[in-house]
Every structure is written in C-alpha cells, then in structure tokens.
Amino acid sequence: MLIITAPGQGAQTPGFLAPWLEVPGVAEWLGTASELAGCDLIRYGTTGDADEIRDTAIAQPLLVAAALAAAGALAGGFSGLPGLPGLPGLPGDVRADAAAGHSVGELAAGVLAGVLSADDAMRLVRVRGAAMAAASAMKPTGMTAVLGGDEQAVLAAIARHDLTPANINAAGQIVAAGAVADLAAFAADPPAGARLRPLQVAGAFHTRYMAPAVAALRHAAAEVAVTDPHLTLLCNADGAAVTTGKEWLERIVAQVAAPVRWDLCMGTMADLGVTAIIELPPAGTLTGLARRALPGVAQLALKTPDQLEAAHQLIAEHLAEHLSEHLSESSGHGHVPEWRLIVAPTSGTFRSPAGRTDAMVALTTDLGTVVARGGERPVSALWPAEIIEWLVEDGDPVSEGQPLVRVQPPGGSAGNGSPR
C-alpha cells in the first residue's frame, strides 16, 4: 500500500524549486498559481533567500504549489489535465492508495485525494498564510522543538509553562509553542533528558494564538466546493481517515489553531499496512520521521525530477490495486479505521460530563470541559457518534491536543482501528 505525503512549513530551503522548472509545464503552472497566491512563487522558490521564504505568507503558498507541481509531473505531465495548467486533475491522475499532509501540506493532500480543486487550494492557502502571519504579529510568540526526554514528562512541563504541544511528530520529537516569555521560562526549566531547540518561525502556529486565522480561513472555506475523497485521506487532528469532503474541510480549518498529531498519522499508516511512502518536495522531513517510526516501510523523498523514475517504480511495486484484487475501488477505504478521537481543546484539568455514559452523542452533546487559567472550554463531538472508550478520568490533567475519548461515527466499525 502506497501513500503520498506533503510536508509543512519549515521544510522549504532556498532554491529547492529550481530543478522542477525544467519539467515541461511546471513554469506555466507556477505562473498561474502565483496569480492565485498573490506572490511570485517562481522567484521565491528559485532565488529567494532563507529569510524571504520563511515569511508565513510566502512559505505556505510556495509549499502547496511545489507539492502540486511535483504531483503533476508524477502523474505523467500536464497536457490535457483538468483544472489549472500543470495541476493534477482527478485522483486517478496520481496513482496512490492514500494521501496525507503535515500542517499546510494537508491542502495539497486534499487535492490529491480529489476533495477540492487545485485552484481552490491555492486560494485557501493564500488566505491561510496571510491570516496566520497577521495573527503572529499580534503578540510575540514562537516555537521550540523538544528532542528526547520522557514524553509524559515533556508534556507535563509544556503544560506547566502554559505552552501547547503544537506538533507531536514522533516519539522524542515534540514542538512546544506559545508566548515568548513562557518559552523563555520553559528554556530555563527544561524537562529532564530533553534538548530544546528554538525554531526560526514567526509565531505559535497550531495554538490558541491562531484563533483569528481560523475565523479568516472559515470565511474563505465557505466559498469552496468539496467532494468526498477518492483516496484514503488522513487528518492531522487525530490521524484518522476522513470519508467526507465536508468533514475534511471543517477539520483543516480548525487545525490552524489545534496541534498537529503526525505521530497518530503514522500510527494509522501502520494500521492500514502502508508499505511505501513518497514525500513531495521540498521532501525529506516526513520520510525522515517515517524511517524511525515505520521501520521496513520503503521511503522516497522526491526532491528533484531525476527521481521521478524511482517514484514510478515504487508505485508499481507497492500500489495496492496492483497487489490485491480484493481491495475496493476507493483505494482501501474498506481498511480505514472508522473511529475518531476527541482531543482536549486546551491544557488544563478535565471534568467529566454529568451522567457520563457510552451512549450515542449528538452534535452539541456535552462531553465534558477542560478547566484552564482562562476559564472552561467545552469538549464536544462534531458529528453524531457512539463512545467506544474514555481515555481520561474526571480530574485528570490534560495537554492541548491530548486524546480524551474514542468514538465511532454512525456506520463505523470499532474493530477496524486500534486505540493510540
């Protein structure tokens, strides 16, 4: 089973896009994408320096455009494909069983899975990047990578300093985010056995500080038409595979201010039986994580066009439709874990709802609250669901993004997934 992944902000490096301009049609596609993004993506991707492409409003459109340009080349070229020039069209143009993106890479993954058009992805990423940049300018915030240490001790230290575990990428790799003053206090009181590395980013992405950006992206998303995915499409919120375009769009909007759980995405890859991963450019980060977390899984970091032949070979060897006639036409949806995780909206103390049960819950049913410094935050499901398993008890301390309860949407099968 083969999955194609798209990296997130921070993966970009000066000049990474230059080799791809040699592929026929890529320059034309990037020109059109630049108009939609409101910036010269060709210049930034070829001659822009590190400071220029670190700008959130530039980096995010550049990453999505680059991933889609390479996907178009991987699909066999740009001639006659629907959508914008140079973009992959329908999911059949890019052969894969599944797709996933890290942070802003989720927009590229959504295009590969057929949920939205490439032009809408570029329109959304323009709003997303600009809105997150504006939110970052409202208060001095930042991010610090925490490498090593006991995970529970690291999460407890992050919560103690009023920070958020904005990225939980893999075992031993968590990114703390929040106010600069709180990060300084965290640096002075690090978790035992952990190394801290401040990141050169503009703000505390995937935390409550991005709430204004959520509102802006939600407004833009209201104009976007979506369809249900034709590939298994994993979500950063909890690693689950989404089965409707509507749910995917709701999730990627909310994800701007919620932690990225790439560790859970890789857990789902293992559950699905993924045997090969191709990472779109600027590649290297996600395949590096998979190398440690998914031993035995073939990985290809697609950095330059001369690797396209190797990518096609990997597809030929690992695409599930070539390996089993028993897979469904939806490229593996029969193997999708159908449960979902409800996670903590903030760090604090979890309080169970009155009369806590395992009954079907409605869209607005109270699943409890998280009591934090700023008050109480409600916990609720976004869809009707049956509770499978509570993962916390009343009075437990929780971190933002921590799984609280495992639920099964109507028609799902709890046996198809496993708790993490």
* Same domain, residue pair 298 and 353: no
pLDDT exceeds 80 at position 401? no
What's residue 331's pLDDT? 39
Catalytic option among 102, 206, 318, 335: 206
**CATH number for the domain harbouring residue 360:** 2.40.50.100
Q: What is the pLDDT of residues 216-246, one digit of tens each?
A: 999 999 999 999 998 999 999 999 999 899 9
pLDDT of amino acid 329 = 39
**One domain for residues 314 and 249:** yes
Output the pTM of the full model: 0.78
End-of-domain residue from the set 291, 310, 335: 335
CATH of the domain at 185: 3.30.70.250
Distance CA 104, CA 282 (A): 13
Helix count and strand count (H, E) for the chain: 14, 18
Query: What value does the mean pLDDT take over residues 374-386?
Result: 74
pLDDT in tens, 93-125: 678 999 999 999 999 999 999 999 999 999 999
Confidence band (pLDDT; 50, 70, 90) for 415? Answer: very low
| More confident position, 363 or 150 | 150
Q: What is the pLDDT of residues 307-322, one digit of tens each?
A: 999 999 999 889 875 4
Please say if the pLDDT value at position 48 is more than 80: yes
Contact 17, 45 (CB under 8 A): yes
**Both 93 and 143 in a single domain?**
no
pLDDT-based confidence at residue 150 (cuts at 50, 70, 90): very high
The answer on 391 and 317 residing in a single domain is no
Least confident window among 97-101, 224-228, 262-266, 379-383: 379-383
pLDDT at 335 over 50: no
Evaluate if residue 29 carries a pLDDT over 80.
yes
Of residues 34, 103, 117, 136, which has the active-site annotation? 103
Q: CB under 8 Å to 257, separation ≥6 — which residues? A: 206, 207, 208, 209, 210, 211, 213, 214
Residue 17 pLDDT grade (very low, low, confident, very high; cuts 50, 70, 90): very high
Are 315 and 261 in a shared domain?
Answer: yes
Averaged pLDDT for residues 120-140: 95
Structural domains counted in the chain: 3
284 & 232 share domain = yes
pLDDT of 136 > 90? The answer is yes
What is the per-residue pLDDT for 344?
Answer: 79
- What is the distance of C-alpha 268 from the center of its chain? 13
User: Rounded mean pLDDT of the chain?
Assistant: 85
d(CA 234, CA 102): 10
Confidence grade of residue 409 (pLDDT, cut at 50, 70, 90)? low
Q: Residue 156: which domain range?
A: 138-201
CATH number for 91: 3.40.366.10
181 and 320 belong to one structural domain: no
Domain end call among 304, 335, 366:
335
Same domain, 24 and 148: no
Tell me, yes or no, if 219 is annotated catalytic. Answer: no
Residues 380 and 400 in one domain: yes
Final residue in a domain of this structure, among 335, 356, 372: 335
CB-based contact 61:33 (threshold 8 Å): yes
Same structural domain for residues 48 and 108? yes
In this prediction, residue 339 carries a pLDDT of 64
Q: Are residues 255 and 401 in the same domain?
A: no
Whether 306 and 351 share a structural domain: no
pLDDT of 162-201, one tens digit each? 999 999 999 889 999 999 999 999 999 999 999 999 988 8
**What is the DSSP annotation of 232-275?**
EEE-TTTSPEE--HHHHHHHHHHGGGS-B-HHHHHHHHHHHT--
**pLDDT value for 311:** 94
